[in-house]
Amino acid sequence: MTQEERIGFQVRLSSVFRPGAPIDSKALFYGRRQQVDDVINAAFQPGQHVVMYGERGVGKTSLAKTLAEILKSVGVTPLSSGTINCDGTDDFSKLWHKVFRELQVVVQSQEGGFCQSQKEIPINLDSLLPEKATPDDVRFAITKAINIAAKDKRMIIILDEVDRITKKQVTTLLADTIKNLSDHLVPVTIILVGVADAVDQLISEHKSVERSIVQVAMPRMSPAELTEVVRKGFESATMTIADDAVIRIVSLSQGLPHFTHLLSLESAFIALTLDRITVCAEDVIKATNSAVLKSHSLLSSHEKATNSPHKTSLYKQVLLACSIAKKGKLGWFSASDVIEPMSQLMGKPYSPPYFARHLSEFSSDKRGPVFQKYSAARQHKYRFVNPLLEPFTIIHALATGMLPKSQRPPENPENN
């Protein structure tokens, strides 16, 4: 393989596997068919708006970014603001000025003279909104913007990371805006993207807004969906990958596409250094080392959580057991769920009293917090604050030789 050929493969791989950025092209977006259908169906229902919610890292932003292109592929070209990121500094007016700043339409103007030629004039729609906006100002401005663009045009506004809005007043006014738009049947779809807690807060601010919102849950991706991501990605890069290598990548990803992209990319780079265009299972195992090193923030979180001057401490083992433990749909687990993986890791029976202190410390600022904790019916429940730390802990254990064979990804398709 020549250097030019290797660089060509690397360029193609980097364009299809993007661990550090959301997918923004329909051609690179795989899976999520049910969620795509739910969002599109809601987008054309009068008075309906959408909330997409799920854990961080499950691909919500990727779906939001590709939505306009998906609609264009079926002949619908909406007036779109693109994806607007919310942040902790936003007040209500600032948020909507961010939206309207991205909205621009081109109108035709008749020029004078004998030729009577048409001239295209771009109009920035931010001027339609007063400096201090109210929900009704937003409704009026959106209606006027749609009339300027085309009376049959539909508008789509996507607000990402709504959970980062820290001011309760903003959430309340946002709920009022959705209710206002819904009551007036304005042909616009507001798509809010965030974690589940943000949905609960939004609805709690305005109970009647619930009937105007279609709630689209974004669970972790299924093995079949992640397999499609891997196979089609390698196909686009004109490379191939062995079945057992696909299974290892999918298993290690734990339903989070970030690690599917990262492990696919690093495994392929390893194969190319050996002048191969087919990735094998051993390449995936080697790729865990580079995947760990290229996940600096996660590595720092892992070190803070498990660091101890005592060689006999069990912080690494308990965190790994929690990563492997079976969890509910929203990622919650209890101490009893940790018993089996902890016993397998240690090679002898372990009961909750042996690791209850560790779970408590993982839920405090002392070691993170790594876990979010809540108590109900005399039982504590835990969930990873950063879901990406869950598969990272398993990948880290595999890279460092800490993961026992019984917990390793299967080596051939028959074991899947």
- Return the CATH number at 329: 1.10.10
Query: What separation, in Å, do the N-terminal and C-terminal C-alpha atoms of the chain show?
Result: 33
Residue 205: pLDDT band (50, 70, 90) is low
The pLDDT value given to residue 123: 72
- HSE of 11, CA atoms in CB hemisphere, 13 A: 6
Q: Taking Cα atoms as reference points, which of 75, 87, 81 lies closest to residue 162?
A: 87
Contact, 54 vs 131, CB < 8 A? no
The pLDDT value given to residue 147: 84
Range of the domain at 84: 32-104+130-217
CA distance 52 to 57: 13
Does a structural domain hold residue 6?
no
Q: Is the model's pLDDT at 299 over the cut of 70?
A: yes
CA distance 159 to 163: 10
Does a structural domain hold residue 233?
no
Q: Taking Cα atoms as reference points, which of 16, 22, 49, 406 lies closest to residue 206?
A: 49
Per DSSP, the residues of 118-143 read EEEEEEEGGGGS-SS--HHHHHHHHH
Residue 416: pLDDT band (50, 70, 90) is very low
Contact, 219 vs 54, CB < 8 A? yes
Tell whether 94 and 198 lie within a shared domain.
yes
Does a structural domain hold residue 345?
yes
CA distance 111 to 120: 10
Tell whether 49 and 178 lie within a shared domain.
yes
Q: Please state whether the predicted TM-score (pTM) of the whole model is above 0.85.
A: no
Per DSSP, the residues of 75-109 read T---EEEEEEEP-TT--HHHHHHHHHHH-EEEEEE
Number of Cβ atoms within 10 Å of the Cβ of 49: 22
pLDDT mean across residues, the chain: 87
Residue 79: pLDDT band (50, 70, 90) is confident
Does a structural domain hold residue 89?
yes
Does a structural domain hold residue 290?
no
Q: Is the model's pLDDT at 218 over the cut of 90?
A: no
Tell whether 183 and 332 lie within a shared domain.
no
**The CATH number of the domain where 96 resides is what?**
3.40.50.300
Q: Give the distance, in angstroms, between the CA of residue 22 and the centroid of all CA atoms in the same chain.
A: 8
Which is more confidently placed, 113 or 154?
154
Tell whether 209 and 315 lie within a shared domain.
no
Does a structural domain hold residue 161?
yes
- Strand pairing report for 49-53 and 188-194: parallel
Contact, 209 vs 177, CB < 8 A? no
Contact, 367 vs 305, CB < 8 A? yes
Tell whether 157 and 57 lie within a shared domain.
yes
Tell whether 84 and 195 lie within a shared domain.
yes
Cα 113 to Cα 24, 106, 110, 116, distances in angstroms:
44, 22, 10, 6
Beta bridge partners of 380: 375
The pLDDT value given to residue 60: 85
pLDDT tens by residue, 344-360: 999 999 999 999 999 99
Determine which helix (DSSP H) or strand (DSSP E) holds 42, and give its type and residue range: helix 33-43
Domain boundary among 166, 200, 217: 217
Task: Compute the radius of gyration of the chain from its Cα atoms.
Answer: 25
Task: Please name the residue that has the structure tokens 């080697």.
Answer: 286
Does a structural domain hold residue 1?
no
Domain boundary among 151, 183, 217: 217
**What ranges in 216-355 are assigned the alpha helix state H?**
223-236, 243-253, 257-273, 281-293, 296-306, 315-324, 335-346
Q: Taking Cα atoms as reference points, which of 189, 185, 159, 153 lies closest to residue 78?
A: 153
Does a structural domain hold residue 285?
no
> b/e for 390-411, b at 16 or more Cβ within 10 A?
bbbbbbbbbbeeebeeebebeb
Task: Please name the residue that has the structure tokens 């433990």.
Answer: 325
Tell whether 344 and 196 lie within a shared domain.
no
- HSE of 147, CA atoms in CB hemisphere, 13 A: 8
Q: Is the model's pLDDT at 392 over the cut of 80?
A: yes
Q: Is the model's pLDDT at 302 over the cut of 60?
A: yes
Q: Taking Cα atoms as reference points, which of 388, 411, 408 lies closest to residue 397?
A: 408
Domain boundary among 192, 217, 242: 217
Q: Which residue type occupies 213? A: I
Cα 343 to Cα 353, 384, 391, 401, distances in angstroms:
13, 21, 19, 18
The pLDDT value given to residue 303: 96
Q: Which sign, positive or negative, has the C-alpha torsion 162, 163, 164, 165? A: positive
Give the total number of structural domains in the chain: 2
